[in-house]
Structures are given as structure tokens and as C-alpha cells.
Structure 1
Amino acid sequence: MGLVVAAALIALLLAATSLIPQDQEILRGLALYAVSALGPLGGFAAAVALRVRDVRAFGLRRVSGRWLLVSVAIGIGVIVLNLLVTAAVVTLFPPPENIQAGYQAAATGGALSFLGALVLGAVLVPIGEELFFRGVLTNGLARYGPWVAVLVSSTVFAVAHGINYVLPVAFVVGVIGALLLRRTGSLWPGVVVHAVNNLSSVIIPAVLAGAV
């Protein structure tokens, strides 16, 4: 049910986003960030509503500061991986379609849009996606074994980002988040890794464009 609700919300919100005029690229970018946050959050809310239980079962529990620091370091490693994968794709294949154009427009469109991209992309999106893909999906698949839970939920997470050059890094982020959830019992280390990676996708374009 969580998958159905999340997919339906994303489809509905994307349809609404498609109505934004093409020349409003900044607004489209911010709207796409919102879709990425609200769709998974809706799926998580549906799962919680159906399974009336303590939300700690979904991984909403405290974790030590040491694990959060470890997660920051892992997130920096993911940024390096992201840059390497992007460089390899650009070098080995024809120039790919810039699927990040809307996000980059939001990051480079001025102080307010940059702040909006930070809040949506580096805070709400990581929280929403980790709540759903790890809190609901990884935990829900745990009955079939730990590796099924980790690999299947990470594959769904990666495919949800589209069949493009982002997919390998999304899969790695999914695996790391799922393993951290299994190791710590908490979603927050995975949220930190996700947030650090997303933060780079906002800050790097803004710095390169001289917007910050």
C-alpha cells in the first residue's frame, strides 16, 4: 500500500509540475524537489496509518553521535563516487541528457531559490525518501532475509531515480542507507549520508555558476 500511495502521489504531483511553463525553470526545479519529498512521505504515512504501531519500528529512533559523524564521512565518500561516475559517463559515452537541469536552475537562481533548494533537496528529500525506501520498504522486506531487504529496496530506490547516469550512485546510497539501518536500527545515519550527497548537488552548481 505504501508503494501504491507513493507512486500515485508522485504521478499526480509530476502531472501538476508539467503544467508549469517551460520558461519557469527555477520553479520547476523547486517543484521537482517537492515531488521527491512529498511522494515518499505520503507512502510512509499510508504505511503508518495501516500498521497502527510505534513509529520506532520504521527506524525513527535515536542514534549515537558517533554514527552520525561516520555517516558524514560516508556521505563525503559518496560525493567523490558521484563525481567519478559522472566523469566516466561523460568521457565514455555521448553527452547524456541533463536530467538535473531543473534542480541546477533552482540552485543557481538566486538567494531565495538557493535556500529553497537547500531546504527541499538536502533536508526534506532525504528525510522523505529514507522514511519510505528504508523505513517502509527495507523493513517490510526483512521477512525475506537481510540481503533481499537491502538489495531489493536499493534497486527500487535506484530505478525510482530513472534509468540514467544517476542510477549507480542512487543504488549505492540505497545500499548504504539500508546497511546503516540494519546496523544501528535507526534511519538517521542513512538520512545524513543522503543529505550530504544531496547537499553537494545544490552547492556545487551554485558555486560553479558564481551564485554563492
Structure 2
Amino acid sequence: MTDWAPPPLASEVPPTAPARPGEILPRPLDGNRAALLLLVTQNVVTGMLVGLAGLPLGLSLALSFVATALLALIFLRPALTRLVQDSRWRTPPAIWTALGALGLGVVASRGILIFVQSVAPQSIGKIEQFNTAGWDRLALLIAGGLLIPFAEEVAFRGLLMRGYERARGPLFAALASSLLFAAAHGVPAQIAAILPIAWVLAWAAQHSGSLWTGVIIHASNNFFSLLLALLLSGSRLMDQAQEQLRNLKALPLGLGLGGLLIAAACMFVATVWLRPRADTPAPVGGRLISGSLVVLVALILFVLASPYLPLAEWASAVRVSLGR
């Protein structure tokens, strides 16, 4: 496996390089709408199917992906047309870049979790026990490990980040998309752990000039995490891990600081290595905040506050759609 030739470095082209002939980049509004549609559809459909209809989790996630795709084709067709015309959609993935970035992101994420466990151990919560069996385990692997990561990459790195790049440049776009993506997972400890992976996803897509590099990273992380959880689910090892979490005590602060230092080192390496390539024109400015972004942020805040609301039990059922 070899990486395809990436676009030229930013230093090798004029700072005001025009877009490729016939290329129309996604707009910030496209990304805001896509992220909102994804978040609402996944939460509502998964919550209704799991919490109300009693369907197994894998099937519910697969149906939520179908609902998201259909609604996107209906309401976001112009945005999706701009996306498939974008060079990042047409550029093949950089395989080795994806694998290296995945390793850095996973190590940084685990380092952050060690730090969180040293300062706020009870925020880690319990290990997710998936209420699924038989053929639904395969459905869960396909939906949660492949389909939904693809949908999230299209929404957050394909449309939202690309639109923000057009308005404010790659650094702002990477930061904004990473923060929104991590916050959408709705659990403080998960947000802290997902931020490094979100940053790597954004930086890898900008570095390789391919949306598919991020898809490979995201799908690999989700698929193998789900596979491990499913293999251990119901086992004696998982029961022991759950018991340890129930009696969780803070790790030594020194160990936590060590985890934080390792995470910072990984993020430094990723940031220096995965320099953005000049596959966008110079930022043109424009409005970023829209009604869809305001609703998206409000929904994220609601999910964060849901454990303290009367809907906490229902919200915990739907949060699994984003907090896999």
C-alpha cells in the first residue's frame, strides 16, 4: 500500500491560489445544516427505536443511518453536490498517513483518560454493555463501525470543516469542527478523550487532501473499539472491569500528569507532521453563525445537561448513538 501523491504544500503555491476549475467548495451554512441534521436524526431515530420501540441497538443504528442519508438527499442535495465535486471527495486516501494518525490519536485519547481518572475518576462512568446478540452484533459492527463514521465524516470534515475553511482558513476550521464534533458526544470524559482524535481527523484530511483518509481513521477506531467491546461483553473480564469501575479510585496525580504529557506529545507530533496542504483558495470571510448552528449548539448543551433533567433515562438511551 502506498499513499497517493498529496497536493502541494501551502508554501509551494501562491497564498491566493484559486479553486480548481469548476470546483465549488461547500459553504459554512452547508456544514451547520449537515451537522444539525446528523445529530438530530441519530438521536431522535435511535432513541425512538431503542427506547420506545425496543429494537436492538445494531438495527436501530442502521435505520438511523438510512434516515440520515434519506433526509440529507432531500434537504442537503445542493450541499452534497458541492461536496462530491470537491477535490477532497475525489482524492484517494493516504493509507499510511491514516494508520499513523490513528495511532497518535488513540494514544493521546488514552492519555487524556488516564489524566481524567486521576482528577475526576467518577466521571469515567461505566463501560457500555451493548444490549445486543446474534445477528444484531454484525449489524452493530457495520452501522456503528462503518456507516455512521462515514456519515459523521461527511457532515463534520466534509461539509462543516470545508465550509469553515472557505470562510476562515484551515486552522480555525480544524479547531471549530473538532470542538463541535467532540462536544456532540455528550459526556464530559468522552469529550476530553475524543478531542485528540477529532483534531487528528481534521488535520489528516487537510494534510492528505482527502476526506477518505479521515473516514479510514474514524471507521477503524470505531470498528475495532466496538469489536473488542462485543467480544468482551458478558465475559468474566468485563464483569471484573465493571466492578472495578464501580469502586473506582483516583489514580496517582503523577500518573495522570504523565498521561497528559504523553497526550500532549502525540498531539504535538501530529500537528507538526500533518501540516495542511494548499487545496483551498484563500479565506474569503463570510457569515459562520446561522440558525442551524445555534440549534446545534443548544442541542449539544441539552445532551450535556440531560443527566440532570427529568428525561435523563430517555437521553441515556439515545446518547449511545453518538457516544459509541
TM-score range, shorter chain: 0.7 to 0.9
Q: Does 1:130 align with 2:153?
A: yes
Gaps of 5+ in 1: none
Matching residue within 172, 176, 183 for 2:200: 176
Equivalent in the alignment of 1:116: 139
Between 1:154-163 and 1:130-139, the stretch displaced more is 154-163
Report the Cα offset of residue 9 of structure 1.
5.7
Is residue 39–residue 184 contact of structure 2 (8 Å, CA) maintained in 1? Answer: no
Is residue 41–residue 129 contact of structure 1 (8 Å, CA) maintained in 2? Answer: no
Aligned 1:135-146 pairs, distance under 5 A:
135-142=158-165, 143-146=167-170
Q: What is the letter of the counterpart of residue 133 of structure 2?
A: G
Matching residue within 15, 20, 26 for 2:44: 15
Q: Quick one: distance in 1 between partners of 2:127 and 2:69?
A: 19
Is residue 29–residue 105 contact of structure 1 (8 Å, CA) maintained in 2? Answer: no
Seq. identity, %:
25
Equivalent in the alignment of 2:224: 200
Matching residue within 61, 65, 73 for 2:100: 73
Q: Quick one: distance in 2 between partners of 1:159 and 1:125?
A: 17
Change (3 A) 1:35 1:159: farther
Change (3 A) 1:133 1:54: closer
Q: What do residues 110-152 of structure 1 show as CA deviations (whole Å, max 9, x unaligned)?
A: 3412211210111111110111101101110112122111111
SS at match of 1:161: coil
Change (3 A) 1:192 1:13: closer
Equivalent in the alignment of 1:92: 119
With the length of structure 1 as denominator, give the TM-score of the two structures: 0.76
Change (3 A) 1:128 1:50: closer
Is residue 162–residue 173 contact of structure 2 (8 Å, CA) maintained in 1? Answer: yes
Change (3 A) 1:154 1:26: same
Report the Cα offset of residue 24 of structure 1.
8.3
Gaps of 5+ in 2: 1-28, 236-324
Report the Cα offset of residue 19 of structure 1.
3.8
With the length of structure 2 as denominator, give the TM-score of the two structures: 0.53
Q: What is the letter of the counterpart of residue 102 of structure 2?
A: G
Q: What do residues 77-134 of structure 1 show as CA deviations (whole Å, max 9, x unaligned)?
A: 3333333433443443242374873xx415xx33412211210111111110111101
Q: Quick one: distance in 1 between partners of 2:49 and 2:63?
A: 14
- Number of corresponding residues: 205
Q: Does 1:31 align with 2:55?
A: no
Q: What is the letter of the counterpart of residue 230 of structure 2?
A: A
Report the Cα offset of residue 56 of structure 1.
3.4
Change (3 A) 1:69 1:13: closer
Report the Cα offset of residue 10 of structure 1.
3.7
Q: Does 1:164 align with 2:188?
A: yes
Task: Compare the two structures and name the one with the higher helix fraction.
Answer: 1
Change (3 A) 1:20 1:98: farther
- Give the superposed CA RMSD: 3.4
- Determine which structure has more spread, i.e. the larger CA radius of gyration: 2
Report the Cα offset of residue 22 of structure 1.
5.3
Between 1:119-128 and 1:6-15, the stretch displaced more is 6-15
Q: Quick one: distance in 1 between partners of 2:55 and 2:228?
A: 16
Equivalent in the alignment of 2:289: none
